C-alpha cells in the first residue's frame, strides 16, 4: 500500500511517500480501506518530535473508509461497513488497522469525507463545550484560533448552547468565517490586545472560560480575560509550549483554574466515545453543525498540507485523500 512514513522527526520534508506492506488485523481489530484521512495539529507535534513516538511510524490518527478485513473474534463490524475513527495511529495511508472498539459506524446522510473531518475536531469541541467547562446559557466565552478546525466547530457548539462568543483570529478573512460560525465579536489578536478587548466587551467583568489552543503567545492574556474563579482550558499549543508557570499567580489573579485536557481522556470508554461521536455525526447529518472542507490534498502532498497548517494558511478541516 502507499503510505507516508516518518523515519526521523523534523520539518514537513520528513513526510515521505513509500510503498509499505498492508497491515493485517489482529484480534479485536479491523483493516480499513481509507477514503479520507484527517490532518490535525497533533500530527505536527509528533512529526517534530515535540510529542515522543517510536520511529519509524506512519503519521495520522483520524480517518474514514470501508472495512476490508476483520481480525479473529470480531463480530461488531463486517467487511463493507462504512466506519470512521480517531485516536489510533497510522492513517496517512491507503489502509490502516484500528481496534474495532474505536470504530464508529457512519450514519446515513454523512459522507465518508465528512466523517473523517468531524471525528477528532468535532469530539474535541464537544468535550470542551459540554464537559470540561459545561457552557451555560448567557455565558460569555473566549475561543482562540476561531477559524481553525476545532475553532469553527467550538464556536458553533458554544453558540447553540446560548453563549455570547468572542473569537480571536489572525486575519480579516478568518474573522468573517468566525462571525459566520456564530461569534458575536472577533479580535485580530495579531494586531490588538485581545485581553483588553474582552474586558471592554464584558464591561470589565471578564469571562468565566477561555478555550486556548494557541498556548505560548496567548497564555498570559488568556488569564487576564478571566473573571474571578474562571477557568483557562489550555488544550493545545499551536504557537509553542507554555513556559513553566508559578501557581501563585492563580490566586493573585482571582482564584483561577487551569486544566490541560486531552480527547483521549474524554472518550476513554466505548460509551462516552459513542455519545460524543453520535452527537457530532448526527448534527452533521442534520446540517446543524457545519464542516468547512476547503483543504483536500492527495496523500502524496502530506508535506504541503503540514506546511499550510503550520503557516496559518488553512481554515477549518484539512483532509488527505489516498
Ligand atoms: P487549527 O486549524 O486550529 O490550526 C491552528 C491555528 O492556530 C492556526 O490556524 C492559527 O490560527 C493558530 N495559531 C496561532 N499561532 C500560531 C502559530 N504560531 N503557528 C501556527 N498556528 C498558530 O488546528 P486544529 O484544529 O487541528 O487544532 C487546534 C488546536 O487544538 C491545536 O493546538 C491542537 O493541538 C489542539 N487540539 C487539542 C486536542 C485536545 O484534546 N487537547 C484535540 C484536538 C486539537 P490564526 O491564524 O487565526 O491565529
| 30 in any annotated domain | yes
The reply to whether ligand 1 has any atom less than 6 angstroms from the CB of 170 is: yes
Is 256 found in the same domain as 158? yes
Is 278 found in the same domain as 220? no
| Residue 39 φ then ψ, to 5° | -100, 130
The reply to whether ligand 1 has any atom less than 6 angstroms from the CB of 261 is: yes
DSSP per position, 250-286: HHHTTS-EEE---HHHHS-SHHHHHHHHHHHHHHHHH
Is 192 found in the same domain as 249? yes
Is 274 found in the same domain as 174? no
The reply to whether ligand 1 has any atom less than 6 angstroms from the CB of 132 is: no
The reply to whether ligand 1 has any atom less than 6 angstroms from the CB of 42 is: yes
What number of helices (H) and strands (E) belong to the chain? Answer: 10, 15
Q: Beta partners for 234?
A: 212
Is 284 found in the same domain as 201? no
The reply to whether ligand 1 has any atom less than 6 angstroms from the CB of 150 is: yes
Is 174 found in the same domain as 66? no
| 130 in any annotated domain | no
| 211 in any annotated domain | yes
Among 117, 176, 238, which is best to mutate for testing ligand 1, by the most ligand atoms less than 8 A from CB? Answer: 238
Between β-strands 318-321 and 29-39, what pairing exists: parallel, antiparallel or unpaired? antiparallel
Q: The domain spanning residue 290 has which CATH number?
A: 3.90.180.10
Is 252 found in the same domain as 276? no
Is it true that the peptide bond before 300 is cis, omega within 30 degrees of 0? no
Is 243 found in the same domain as 159? yes
Q: Which of 210, 225, 260 is the last residue of a domain?
A: 260
Is 77 found in the same domain as 162? no
Is 232 found in the same domain as 178? yes
Quote the domain boundaries for residue 140.
136-260
The reply to whether ligand 1 has any atom less than 6 angstroms from the CB of 46 is: no
Q: The domain spanning residue 193 has which CATH number?
A: 3.40.50.720
* Number of structural domains the chain divides into: 2
Q: How many angstroms does the Cα of residue 199 sit away from the middle of ligand 1? A: 24
| 131 in any annotated domain | no
Per-residue pLDDT of the chain (322 residues), as tens digits, is 999 999 999 999 999 999 999 999 999 999 999 999 999 999 999 999 999 999 999 999 999 999 999 999 999 999 999 999 999 999 999 999 999 999 999 999 999 999 999 999 999 999 999 999 999 999 999 999 999 999 999 999 999 999 999 999 999 999 999 999 999 999 999 999 999 999 999 999 999 999 999 999 999 999 999 999 999 999 999 999 999 999 999 999 999 999 999 999 999 999 999 999 999 999 999 999 999 999 999 999 999 999 999 999 999 999 999 9
Amino acid at each position: 500500500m502507499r503510505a507516508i512514513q516518518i523515519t526521523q522527526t523534523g520539518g514537513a520534508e520528513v513526510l515521505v511517500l513509500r510503498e509499505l506492506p498492508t497491515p493485517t488485523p489482529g484480534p479485536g481489530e479491523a483493516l480499513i480501506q481509507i477514503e479520507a484521512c484527517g490532518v490535525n495539529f497533533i500530527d505536527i507535534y509528533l512529526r517534530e518530535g515535540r510529542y515522543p513516538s517510536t520511529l519509524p511510524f506512519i503519521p495520522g490518527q483520524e480517518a474514514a473508509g470501508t472495512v476490508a478485513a476483520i481480525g479473529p473474534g470480531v463480530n461488531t463490524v463486517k467487511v463493507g461497513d462504512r466506519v470512521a475513527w480517531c485516536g489510533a495511529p497510522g492513517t496517512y495511508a491507503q489502509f490502516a488497522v484500528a481496534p474495532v472498539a474505536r470504530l464508529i459506524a457512519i450514519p446515513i446522510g454523512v459522507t465518508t469525507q465528512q466523517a473523517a473531518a468531524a471525528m477528532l475536531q468535532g469530539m474535541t469541541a464537544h468535550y470542551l463545550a459540554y464537559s470540561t467547562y459545561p457552557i451555560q446559557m448567557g455565558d460569555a466565552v473566549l475561543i482562540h484560533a476561531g477559524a481553525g478546525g476545532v475553532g469553527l466547530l467550538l464556536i458553533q457548539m458554544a453558540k447553540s448552547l446560548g453563549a455570547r462568543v468572542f473569537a480571536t483570529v489572525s486575519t480579516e478573512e478568518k474573522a468573517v468565517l468566525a462571525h459566520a460560525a456564530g461569534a458575536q465579536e472577533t479580535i485580530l489578536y495579531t494586531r490588538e490586545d485581545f485581553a483588553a478587548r474582552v474586558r471592554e466587551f464584558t464591561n470589565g467583568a471578564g469571562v468565566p472560560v477561555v478555550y486556548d489552543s494557541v498556548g505560548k503567545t496567548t497564555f498570559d492574556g488568556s488569564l487576564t480575560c478571566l473573571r474571578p474563579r474562571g477557568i483557562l482550558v489550555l488544550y493545545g499549543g499551536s504557537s509553542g509550549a507554555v513556559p513553566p508557570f508559578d501557581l501563585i499567580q492563580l490566586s493573585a489573579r482571582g482564584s483561577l483554574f487551569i486544566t490541560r485536557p486531552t480527547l483521549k481522556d474524554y472518550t476513554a470508554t466505548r460509551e462516552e466515545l459513542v455519545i460524543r461521536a453520535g452527537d457530532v455525526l448526527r448534527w452533521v447529518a442534520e446540517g446543524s453543525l457545519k464542516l468547512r472542507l476547503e483543504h483536500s490534498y492527495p496523500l502524496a502532498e502530506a508535506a504541503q498540507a503540514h506546511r499550510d497548517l503550520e503557516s496559518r494558511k488553512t481554515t477549518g478541516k484539512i483532509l488527505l485523500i489516498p
